[in-house]
Amino acid sequence: MKIRINNAADLGLSFKDSFHPDFWEGEELNGDIKDRLLEIANKFLAELKMPLITADDITLTGSIANYNWNDKSDIDLHLIIDFEKLNIENDLLKDFLNLKRMAWNKLHDIKIKGHDVEIYIQDKNEPHHSTGVYSITGDKWINKPDATKPSLDLDAAAEKADALMKDVDSLERFEAAKRYEIAISLQEKIKKMRQIGLEKDGVYSTENLAFKTLRRNGYMKKLLDFKNNAYDEMYSLDEVHSDKQRRYMCAMAKPNAKRPTSLSLAQAQEMCSGPMKEADKKKKDDRCTRIAKRKYDVWPSAYASGAVVKCRQGKIWKGVKENVEEDLKKWFARQGEKGSKGGWVDCNAPDGKGGYKECAQGDRKKKPACRPTPSACKDPGKGKKWGKKSNESQDRIYKLFIDQELKPG
């Protein structure tokens, strides 16, 4: 069912003529609220027990610092930290502070005027896109929002959101390794989409509205659940893995492979050598693989695998039998009975019933002209009639078989 956005309220957006009266005195932040927010931010920094980590600024952003506030708006308290100045590996520092932030927000339930306080860590050197940003430390606006009610393209936002919802829903069709890979790709795609929209048209951009639609309909959580469940399935040691999962992990196990940030080289190597599903163990080789294994001394190898690919494309081995020796044994073993399924027949000895007698030495007037089936008697070959060259040896017949059956495709 296609998603519809009837109005801005469907996305939790409501436009007011003024700032939230409980927080603002005209365009200035209430003094008591400002002091309390500074106290909360400094308390968080002290609990880190890392004196080198200090905030260059503490800001208030989000809908509370804008004209689209509502009764459920959070108080987005941003601690602006200069990551470069700390001389700590960027990703490590970001992960550490993010974990501390999440733990603090989960542990504490602090409210101001009925609104939840949420702490965020922001790198000073990374852009933050918001039409309303107020410096609590400096007691001034950094980005002052426009009171003009924006024009929203809700249909375009719904169309973008609907396409992404279908992508998320389709994840359940894939095995764990592929599901995990696609989930990460989708998360990055949505993040990039939102960033582009924020940079171009701010919080009311079509892209950001599409993101809000996904989040409000539970699809951001659904995508995260898909990724986390696939991750757990991939790395559970008591799980067996399919051939597709193994191939993906073996590709990621190469030192120069571009692995997801959450997948280490050691994990990929472990999964590459893990147990396989019985169905994949018992899976039979196809015709091209069987022929390649017979023709190449080394298997697997790059040459053999390349030949298999060409065979599957129909470029080589079109007329090659899979097991020539076995077919020849069956061909020469056919004797004693007439007919297409019985044994060899003598084309120089019609039985008077439209067929031929069995191929055998005896008191016949003509030398036997033996062929594997009665239908083969219709073509006497290069001779004008049967029997002229009936003393062909078995070696010549063997060569004839090879020429016919193994003719290159």
pTM (2 d.p.): 0.50
Closest CA to 267 of 250, 282, 286: 250
3-state helix, strand, coil in the chain (%, to 5): 45, 10, 40
Q: What is the spatial distance between Cα 299 and Cα 301, in angstroms, rounded to a whole number?
A: 5
Closest CA to 133 of 62, 194, 204, 195: 62
Q: What is the DSSP string of 352-378?
A: SSSSEEE---SS-SSPP-EESSGGGGG
Topology classification of domain 18-143: Beta Polymerase; domain 2 (3.30.460)
Burial (CB count within 10 angstroms: exposed 0-12, middle 13-18, buried 19+), residue 326: exposed
Q: What is the spatial distance between Cα 130 and Cα 141, in angstroms, rounded to a whole number?
A: 12
Contacts of 82 (CB under 8 A, 6+ apart): 56, 123, 124, 125
**Per-residue model confidence (pLDDT) at position 336:** 44
On whether the CB atoms of residues 359 and 368 are closer than 8 A, the answer is: yes
Phi-psi region of 317 (alpha: psi -120 to 50; beta: other; left: phi over 0): left
Closest CA to 201 of 213, 211, 188, 186: 211
**Per-residue model confidence (pLDDT) at position 119:** 94
- The beta-carbon contacts of 98-104 under 8 Å, at least 24 apart in sequence, are 100/44, 100/47, 100/48, 101/44, 104/44, 104/47
Residue 219: its H or E element: helix 219-235
Cross-strand partners of 25: 28
Q: What is the spatial distance between Cα 216 and Cα 267, in angstroms, rounded to a whole number?
A: 35
Tell me, what amino acid is at 88?
A: I
Q: What is the spatial distance between Cα 54 and Cα 83, in angstroms, rounded to a whole number?
A: 10
Structure tokens at 264: 């280490």
Structure tokens at 133: 């940003």
Question: DSSP class of residue 231?
Answer: H
**Per-residue model confidence (pLDDT) at position 210:** 92
Q: What is the DSSP string of 68-122?
A: ---TT--EEEEEEE-HHHHTS-HHHHHHHHHHHHHHHHHH---EETTEEEEEEEE
Q: What is the spatial distance between Cα 207 and Cα 192, in angstroms, rounded to a whole number?
A: 10
Helix 302-312, helix 287-295: angle, nearest 10? 140
On whether the CB atoms of residues 366 and 389 are closer than 8 A, the answer is: no
**Per-residue model confidence (pLDDT) at position 339:** 47
Would you call the peptide bond into 300 cis, given omega within 30 degrees of 0 as the criterion? yes
Instruction: State the pairing for strand pair 115-123/75-81.
Output: parallel
- The beta-carbon contacts of 24-30 under 8 Å, at least 24 apart in sequence, are 27/141, 27/144, 28/139, 29/60, 29/134, 29/136, 29/139
pLDDT per residue as tens, the chain (409 positions): 567 776 666 776 778 889 999 999 999 999 999 999 999 999 999 999 888 899 999 999 988 999 888 888 899 999 999 998 888 888 888 889 988 998 998 889 999 999 999 999 999 988 877 888 999 999 999 999 888 887 888 888 889 999 999 999 999 888 888 899 999 999 999 999 998 988 888 888 899 889 989 998 899 999 999 999 988 888 775 545 566 666 777 788 887 888 777 677 877 777 776 655 554 445 567 788 888 888 887 777 777 777 887 888 788 888 776 655 555 555 555 544 444 445 677 888 888 887 888 776 555 566 777 777 777 777 665 555 555 444 444 555 555 555 554 555 4
